[in-house]
């Protein structure tokens, strides 16, 4: 679950909030509008510091995940859930070493829903 609080994308604050070597997902904002969703499979702090140095956004939200696959699914969820234009040029890509797909793309979502167990009420 991504944090509800929006933080200023300042290097000192990123360093204060996020320990090194954490896997995670994030949203970048300009003013109050989300502009980019992303993740880091190795070091969320380093990735957000890169965005801060590049001036990619003004604010951010983040979440730490137990594994790269969880971070990928969280990033996909955010990518599909945000209503409005994002600066992401492509759909989130799974890490090369994992054989997983986005569960939120329409064809995959329909497959999941069609194959779920249905309770007889």
User: What domains can be seen in the chain, in order of their start residue?
Assistant: 7-114 (3.40.1440.10)
Quote the pTM value: 0.84
Q: 52 CB contacts (<8 Å, ≥6 apart)? A: 9, 10, 11, 14
Interval 76-105: pLDDT, tens: 999 999 988 999 989 999 999 999 999 888
Q: At residue 112, does pLDDT exceed 80?
A: no
pLDDT of residue 119: 58
The predicted structure's pLDDT at residue 108: 56
Task: Say what the pLDDT of residue 105 is.
Answer: 85
Average pLDDT of the chain to the nearest whole number = 89
Is residue 4 scored above 90 in pLDDT?
A: no
Which are the contacts of 39, defined by CB distance < 8 A and separation ≥ 6?
Answer: 23, 24, 25, 26, 47, 71, 72, 74, 75, 92
Q: What is the pLDDT of residue 82?
A: 93
């Amino acid at each position: 679950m991504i944090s509800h609080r929006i933080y200023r994308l300042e290097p000192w604050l990123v360093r204060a909030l996020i320990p090194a070597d954490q896997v995670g997902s994030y949203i970048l904002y300009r003013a109050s509008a989300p502009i980019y969703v992303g993740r880091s499979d190795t070091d969320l702090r380093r990735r957000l510091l890169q965005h801060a140095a590049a001036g990619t956004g003004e604010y951010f939200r983040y979440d730490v995940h137990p594994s790269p696959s969880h971070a990928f699914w969280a990033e996909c969820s955010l990518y599909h859930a945000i209503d409005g234009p994002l600066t992401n040029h492509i759909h989130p890509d799974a890490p090369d070493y994992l054989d997983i797909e986005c569960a939120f793309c329409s064809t995959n979502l329909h497959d999941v829903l069609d194959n779920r167990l249905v309770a007889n009420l």
